[in-house]
Structure 1
């Protein structure tokens, strides 16, 4: 009798493992494309992230344009990074440089502004309500 119930138990265990969400599973990423026009008013987005979730705002810029990004948040562990498509290193790391960025873009292409919580807040499942202002100038 024991040998017949073993496959059933193994099947139930496997089903339970498949249905549970492991701690290392991918967290939600909100992705949005932002259309910025040089010289126009800054584009503003409001959002909320919780725990290890992130938000990514992708925009297109040209070499020589000045990109400005400012993050206003209710959570002191809420920051943003800026990455250039195809590059391994970030152009800007908010946790070491603050919540304001303004610099000349090095090349034509796509840039992504990623809003996130530092690990200390993310592991507590903290919530950040934020407003991100982005603008381009020639």
Structure 2
């Protein structure tokens, strides 16, 4: 994995800023970009309401990756998607917070952290740490 790129998005309107400040998404990269050979990278952030934090994964072909979500809100979830695919590779909640997959050549992957629709509607927030580990 060459780097882990944070990107902010608002649910349903990628790239647009939500008109309500209560639907915020924030992310902070707590470590520098990982370089080839680095076994893990961790990133933390916070989501509120309908906010979505999106991270792009820059990967090598045939690499085994494990993405793990640690959060203070059990209504948090992660989705791992391969660009161009309609179906996520992994969909999980905080109770099932790990996603492992093998990368394909010339494919781009994204990790999306959000709250369940019910939690978002209640205006809940969550702090999280997302860890990506490289395997064989």
TM-score (norm 1): 0.70
Aligned residues: 114
Moved more, 97-106 or 56-65: 97-106
| More strand per residue | 2
CA contact (8 A) 1:62 1:107 kept: yes
Q: 2:51 aligns with which of 44, 53, 64?
A: 53
Q: Structure 2: how far apart are the matches of 1:29 and 1:87?
A: 24
* Larger Rg, first or second structure (1 or 2): 1
Residue 98 of structure 2 corresponds to 100
| More helix per residue | 1
CA contact (8 A) 1:68 1:103 kept: yes
CA contact (8 A) 1:51 1:127 kept: yes
Aligned-residue RMSD, C-alpha = 2.7
CA contact (8 A) 1:36 1:60 kept: no
The offset of 1:102, in angstroms, is 1.5
Q: Which runs of 5+ in 2 are unaligned?
A: 1-18
Q: 1:80 aligns with which of 78, 81, 88?
A: 78
Aligned structure 1 segments of 4 or more residues deviating by more than 3 angstroms = 27-39
Residue 6 of structure 1 corresponds to none
- CA 1:92/1:63 → structure 2, altered by over 3 Å: closer, same or farther? same
Residue 135 of structure 1 corresponds to 133
- SS of 1:121's equivalent in the other structure is helix
- SS of 1:59's equivalent in the other structure is strand
Q: Structure 2: how far apart are the matches of 1:40 and 1:125?
A: 37
Residue 115 of structure 1 corresponds to 113
CA contact (8 A) 2:74 2:95 kept: no
